[in-house]
Structure 1
Amino acid sequence: MITSIQNDKVKNWKKLQKRKERRKSGTFLVEGFHLVEEARKSEWQLQEIIVQEGIEIPSWCRSLAITEVGENVFQYISETRTPQGIAAIVSIKQPSEIMGNYILLIDAIQDPGNLGTIIRTADAAGFDAVVLGDGTVDLFNDKVIRSTQGSIFHIPITQEPLESRIKSLQKENFSIWATALTDAKPFHRIEKQEKVGLIVGNEGAGIHENILEMANTIVNIPIYGKAESLNVSVAAGILMYHVKM
């Protein structure tokens, strides 16, 4: 059992809180029984299970490498207020290709809670894949992972420049919808399409102009009350369910 935060393994786990180290190692850390179980069920590679002393773990964990640690060590590597005492080191998995008729494209969303919620909603709405454009918060940020509630393991997600992906989708006869507040049509008045790529943009600035210009259709969500706008994760959810209905 590891009881010192000066242990080399502990130092390496702690480093995974930084994007650079996650990319360098090709791994990330997930916490909690639910997320660890979702990673396993979705056939992501679990390199190691980290368990706090005294915590009972599921029987399936015993087929994997397990490291027991003291409570002080688990608190040190945890990014949650009330850790459950179980975590896993997971290998980053890149989808081989993007397939399907409904693709969500994300332009520079920076709040990890928003990104995680949008991914979770895309999973629930039956979208086929998510593409994260430049300037978007790291997919393997702890808050993103927790906000997805496991959907990060269910739906293919890539990180790439949106311009090239939009061009390839249009060659495959996708209609590209983009959200904007001006020069846009109410979403419910747009004729449904068989293949849709939906772009949602940054919380404050919206979609970059060069990407907006590539869209086939600009849509908005009517505001009937006095609010200036909707949270991007709420707006994305409304539009994704509309597209799939």
Structure 2
Amino acid sequence: MESITSAQNNKIKIANKLKKKRERDKTGLALIEGYHLIEEAFKSQLKIKQLYIVDVERIDATLIDYAEEAFEINLKVAEVLSGTVTPQGFFAVIEKPTYESKHAQQVLLIDRIQDPGNLGTLIRTADAAGLDLIVLEKGTADPYQDKVMRASQGSVFHIPIITTELSDFINTFEGNVYGTALDNAVVYHQVPSQTSFALLLGNEGEGVNSDLLSQTTQNLTIPIYGKAESLNVAIAGSIVIYHLKG
């Protein structure tokens, strides 16, 4: 296996650029860090273009064979590639998957959620609940951002995620669409569980765009019994997703 000992190596420079969304969008590639995420990408049969490893003894040979290219790197190079203070020493450049939105029956719609922890948690919940699809409005955090991937615990590779105009998607979706808002809303548990639904969640500060709310079948609210002003969007979304699933 070839070794890379300089952070100025061209492959390392190209991999490092993938920390920027613009570069990920342009190339269709993403940089992932950590054994668990790499393993999940492998299990999901995503294309692993390059694998960069500090300690080759600590990685399964199957992963090395699966990758198109594999390189041994030193800690100095790992620190350059890492998004964390203490690098785990495992990195991969993967090809982002592309998905179709047809035939999805249980969908999570996300309107400009910007906190990577919230988005990652919602992706993980949607995966755990067995939803078919996640649709992101432009302006939402990038699912292939390092912090989102880590918060999703690899679920970002398990469930189709697309970015498109939510308004257009809602127009063509055949099931009920539920918004999360206080206006003209009913308490979420008044709505029965169902086989086909879309749940629309909005930006942490502004909520869901009012134009999108006007397209929903019904808006839902979660009662607050204590003194908290509101629920975190990822927690609220998780409660309603599992309720609608039944």
The answer to whether TM tops 0.5 is yes
Please name the residue that 2:50 is paired with.
Answer: 48
Contact conserved, 2:18 with 2:24, CA < 8 A, in 1?
Answer: yes
**Residues 1:21 and 2:23 aligned together:** yes
**Residues 1:131 and 2:135 aligned together:** yes
The normalised TM-score by structure 1 is 0.95
Counterparts of 1:79-98 in structure 2 under 5 Å? 79-98=83-102
Contact conserved, 1:99 with 1:129, CA < 8 A, in 2?
Answer: no
Contact conserved, 1:130 with 1:157, CA < 8 A, in 2?
Answer: yes
CA drift at 1:134: 1.8
Contact conserved, 1:55 with 1:85, CA < 8 A, in 2?
Answer: no
In 2, distance between residues paired with 1:20 and 1:4?
25
**Residues 1:161 and 2:165 aligned together:** yes
SS at match of 2:58: coil
Residue of structure 1 aligned with 2:148, choices 133, 139, 144: 144
In 2, distance between residues paired with 1:244 and 1:66?
42
Aligned length in residues = 242
Q: Percent identity?
A: 44
In 2, distance between residues paired with 1:34 and 1:45?
16
The normalised TM-score by structure 2 is 0.95
Counterparts of 1:1-245 in structure 2 under 5 Å? 1-53=3-55, 56-63=58-65, 64=67, 65-169=69-173, 172=174, 174-245=175-246
In 2, distance between residues paired with 1:97 and 1:209?
24
Which ranges of structure 1 fall in alignment gaps of 5 or more residues?
none
Amino acid at match of 1:151: S
CA drift at 1:48: 1.1
Amino acid at match of 2:199: L
SS at match of 2:162: strand
CA drift at 1:9: 1.2
CA drift at 1:53: 4.6
Q: Compute the RMSD of aligned alpha carbons.
A: 1.3
In 1, distance between residues paired with 2:24 and 2:229?
38
SS at match of 2:178: strand
Amino acid at match of 1:160: T
Change in CA separation of 1:71 and 1:222 when aligned onto 2, cut-off 3 Å: same
In 2, distance between residues paired with 1:206 and 1:191?
24
Amino acid at match of 2:7: I
Change in CA separation of 1:55 and 1:76 when aligned onto 2, cut-off 3 Å: farther
In 1, distance between residues paired with 2:176 and 2:208?
17
In 1, distance between residues paired with 2:103 and 2:18?
30
CA drift at 1:193: 3.5
Q: Deviations over 1:24-71 (max 9, x none)?
A: 221001111111010001111111111115652111023131011111
Contact conserved, 1:177 with 1:215, CA < 8 A, in 2?
Answer: yes
CA drift at 1:157: 0.8
4+ residue stretches of structure 1 with deviation over 3 A?
191-194
